[in-house]
Structure 1
Amino acid sequence: MIQKIDLSVGPIAYYQEIKNPELPTLVFLHDSLGCITLWRDFPSLLATRTQCNILVYDRQGYGQSCDFSYSKREKDYLELEADLLQELLEKLNIKHPILFGHSDGGSIALLAAAKYPATIKAIITEGAHLFVEEITIKGIQDALEAYQNNDLKRKLEKYHGAKTESMFKAWTETWLDASFRDWNIEEFIPKIQCPILVLQGEYDEFGTEEQIKSILKNTLAKALIVPNAKHTPHKEQPDFILEQTAQFIEQLHKH
Structure 2
Amino acid sequence: MEGRSIDVKGNKLYIEYENAFENKPTIVFLHDSLGCTQLWRDFPAKLGSALACNVLVYDRLGYGKSGVMTTHERAVNYMELEADLLNDLLCTLNVQDAVLFGHSDGGTIALIAASKYQENIQAVMCEAGHIFVEDITVKGVRDALEAYNTTNLGERLQKYHGDKVEMLFRAWTEIWLSEKFRNWNIEYLLKDITCPLLFIQGENDEYGTLDQLEKTLAQVSGISEQYIIPEIGHTPHKEVPELVLKRSIEFLQRQFNS
TM-score, normalised relative to structure 1: 0.98
Residues 9, 69 of structure 1: 8 Å contact kept: no
Instruction: State how 1:166-177 maps to structure 2 within 5 Å.
Output: 166-177=167-178
Percent of pairs identical after alignment?
Answer: 48
1:201 and 2:202 matched: yes
Give, in whole Å, the separation in 1 of the partners of 2:104 and 2:231.
Answer: 18
Residues 89, 95 of structure 1: 8 Å contact kept: yes
Instruction: State how 1:1-255 maps to structure 2 within 5 Å.
Output: 1-219=2-220, 220-255=223-258
| Structure 1 consecutive aligned stretches of length 4 or more whose deviation exceeds 2 Å | none
Query: What stretches of structure 1 of length at least 5 have no aligned partner?
Result: none
Residues 72, 168 of structure 2: 8 Å contact kept: no
Residues 103, 126 of structure 2: 8 Å contact kept: yes
How far did residue 71 of structure 1 move? 4.2
Give, in whole Å, the separation in 2 of the partners of 1:167 and 1:122.
Answer: 29
Q: How many residues align?
A: 255
**2:226 corresponds to which letter in structure 1?**
A
Q: Which has the higher mean CA deviation after the structures are superposed, 63-72 or 100-109?
A: 63-72
| Structure 1 SS opposite 2:204 | coil
**1:224 corresponds to which letter in structure 2?**
Y
| Structure 1 SS opposite 2:189 | helix
Give, in whole Å, the separation in 1 of the partners of 2:214 and 2:240.
Answer: 22
**2:132 corresponds to which letter in structure 1?**
F
**2:225 corresponds to which letter in structure 1?**
K
Give, in whole Å, the separation in 2 of the partners of 1:181 and 1:134.
Answer: 9
Give, in whole Å, the separation in 2 of the partners of 1:110 and 1:242.
Answer: 20
Give, in whole Å, the separation in 2 of the partners of 1:249 and 1:194.
Answer: 12
Over residues 144-178 of structure 1, what are the superposed CA-to-partner deviations in whole Å (9 max), with x where a residue is unaligned? 11111011111101000010000000000000011
Residues 75, 183 of structure 1: 8 Å contact kept: yes
How far did residue 20 of structure 1 move? 1.2
Give, in whole Å, the separation in 1 of the partners of 2:10 and 2:171.
Answer: 16
Over residues 101-132 of structure 1, what are the superposed CA-to-partner deviations in whole Å (9 max), with x where a residue is unaligned? 00000000000000111111000000000000
How far did residue 227 of structure 1 move? 2.2
Give, in whole Å, the separation in 1 of the partners of 2:9 and 2:95.
Answer: 18
Q: Indicate the RMSD between aligned Cα atoms, in angstroms.
A: 0.9
**1:137 corresponds to which letter in structure 2?**
V
How far did residue 69 of structure 1 move? 2.9
Give, in whole Å, the separation in 2 of the partners of 1:228 and 1:239.
Answer: 15
| Structure 2 SS opposite 1:252 | helix
Residues 215, 221 of structure 1: 8 Å contact kept: no
TM-score, normalised relative to structure 2: 0.97
| Structure 2 SS opposite 1:31 | coil
Residues 191, 219 of structure 2: 8 Å contact kept: yes
Give, in whole Å, the separation in 2 of the partners of 1:8 and 1:79.
Answer: 16
Query: What stretches of structure 2 of length at least 5 have no aligned partner?
Result: none
How far did residue 38 of structure 1 move? 0.3
Residues 4, 14 of structure 1: 8 Å contact kept: yes
Give, in whole Å, the separation in 1 of the partners of 2:132 and 2:10.
Answer: 26
Residues 9, 60 of structure 1: 8 Å contact kept: no
